[in-house]
Amino acid sequence: MKKIFITGSCGFIFSNFVRKLAYLIGKDNKQYPYNLVSLDNFSINNLNAMYWNKNHTFYIGDILDEHILKTIFEVEKPDIVVHGAAQTFVDSSIKDPKLFVTNNILGTQNIINACVKSNVEKLIYISTDEIYGQLLSEKDLSWKETDAANPRNPYSASKYSAELLVKSAGITYGLNYNIIRPSNNYGPRQFSEKLIPKAIKCVLNNEKIPIYGQGSQIRDWTHVFDNCQAILDIIQKGNSNEIYNVSANQEFSNLEVINKICSIMGNRHDLISFIEDPRGKCHDFRYSTDSSKLKELGWKPNFKFNEGLKETINWYINNQWFIK
């Protein structure tokens, strides 16, 4: 039995990942011979996302607290570490860059230090496709993992900085790692600061849906369940010290996404409201990544966006307590 330690387990992606993997462990312990340990500091009031399970041990704590990390690594002795804890909201990074430098860079170095000292088998670092910067045309080719990084806001800059720390630990200390760059995720348990749950919440509350600028920014949308499967595939089959893009290659503008939500929820297009873009010039136009390398491991997305969006909306309608 290998032990997987997950940081940020009450965030959007990893609250779903813990549930998925705990289910798989209970269903087939031979194919998934793991025990789960996780950590979260509830910095975004995400108590509702916590998950208790006999195969999952949960700690309340912060990756900035070196003492609690030392204690967890000494007591639990994890074999694999999946580091997903991070500050992720671009708007907040513009208002308070220091918060993102502290959490996303210094916090990651604390995780690296603990992994090196404990000689873990592998560190999986969850980054973002935003580190590439932006594509300026719908005709531009999707990014590959070898393309140059060009982060354009404090959030993406902090994530790429952390990537460099992980890579350097591989060279300096021989740390075995993988870096994962997911595209925009959607699905259940995403917090209402993000585009899709915010729009759903606005419709449910009969409130205006704010769209930055003209909503022309294009994003590549991947269902969180597909992203969770990608992370699991990389844990089990990822080649040492490789970077993997994760994307379903389903690109839509923000306005297209909002229009789809309004159509599904009773044609509430009257709620759409265009506002001044608070991100200004650093609001990237288009993201698009090539996941060919990941697909060589056997991964493929299972969710088409329209069907996945309908399921996501139904989840929020049936679980309105989550976004209240």
**Active site amino acids:** 129-130, 155
The Cβ of residue 47 has, within 10 Å, a number of other Cβ atoms equal to 10
The bridge status of strand 177-182 relative to strand 184-186 is unpaired
> What residues contact residue 277 under an 8 Å CB cut-off, 6+ apart?
212, 213, 283
Helix locations, the chain, DSSP H: 12-27, 66-76, 90-95, 97-100, 107-118, 154-173, 195-204, 224-237, 254-264, 292-295, 305-318
Q: Give the CA distances from residue 83 to residues 5, 152, 162, in Å, rounded to whole numbers and listed in that order.
A: 8, 23, 11
CA distance linking residue 243 with residue 177, whole number of Å = 9
Measured at the CA of 150, the angle between CA 153 and CA 126, to 5 degrees, comes to 75
Side-chain-side CA neighbours of 241 within 13 Å: the count stands at: 12
Decide: 46 and 10 in contact? Cβ < 8 Å: yes
Angle between helices 66-76 and 107-118 (to 10 degrees): 30
> What residues contact residue 136 under an 8 Å CB cut-off, 6+ apart?
285, 286
* 316: amino acid identity, one letter: Y
Ramachandran angles phi, psi of 273, nearest 5°: -135, 120
> What residues contact residue 157 under an 8 Å CB cut-off, 6+ apart?
151
Decide: 4 and 35 in contact? Cβ < 8 Å: yes
